């Protein structure tokens, strides 16, 4: 059993310039062989979320690599049952978990790179 809460990363996730505007990108920051988080860049802001749907938190949300958004890219979509979440705050607006939220990943931009800050997943153990 690993304890993600105790781990912090000593390298950036990526260069901000490598994040396509208005699209989602998945990351595997602890090298587990699957994307455990994803980000969505909107202008100068990057929103970061764990790849865990509040409906069933073991569900993977992307329908294929880096595809976490709905068709018009206005919301985050869970591929399992179609829940739609606001990109800005991760709140589910439509679907089986209305009112529940995605789990944020604290990130910051520094020197053109995107970093996770603090604990990757406070309180989360697996
Ligand atoms: S697991 Fe995401 S909507 Fe059901």
- If one counts every other C-beta atom within 10 angstroms of the C-beta of residue 50, the result is 19
Question: From the CA of 76, how far away is ligand 1's center (Å)?
Answer: 12
Mutate which of 50, 57, 76, 78 for ligand 1 pocket (most atoms within 8 A of beta carbon): 78
Give domain limits for the chain: 4-116
Pocket of ligand 1 from Cβ distances under 6 Å: 53, 55-56, 59, 78, 80-81, 83, 95-96
Is 70 exceeded by the pLDDT of residue 107?
yes
Q: What is the mean pLDDT of residues 9-36?
A: 90
Under the banding of pLDDT at 50, 70 and 90, the label for residue 37 is: very high
Would you give the DSSP letter of residue 112?
Answer: T
Which CATH architecture group holds 4-116?
3-layer Sandwich (2.102)
- Hey, whose CA ends up nearest to atom 3 of ligand 1? 81
The pTM of the full predicted model, rounded to 2 decimals, is: 0.88
**Contact indicator for 84, 72 with CB cutoff of 8 Å:** no
67, exposed or middle or buried, with CB in 10 Å at 0-12, 13-18, 19+? Answer: middle
> Distance between CA 71 and CA 114 in Å, rounded?
26
């Amino acid at each position: 059993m690993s304890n993600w809460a105790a781990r912090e990363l000593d390298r950036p996730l990526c260069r901000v310039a490598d994040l396509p505007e208005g699209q989602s990108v998945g990351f595997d920051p602890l090298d587990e062989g699957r994307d455990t988080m994803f980000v969505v860049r909107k202008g100068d802001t990057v929103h970061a979320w764990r790849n865990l749907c509040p409906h069933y938190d073991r569900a993977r949300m992307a329908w294929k690599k880096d595809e976490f958004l709905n068709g018009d890219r206005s919301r985050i979509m869970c591929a399992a049952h179609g829940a739609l979440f606001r990109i800005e705050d991760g709140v589910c607006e439509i679907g089986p978990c209305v009112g529940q939220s995605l789990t944020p990943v604290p990130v910051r931009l520094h020197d053109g790179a995107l970093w996770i800050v603090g604990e990757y997943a406070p309180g989360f153990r697996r």
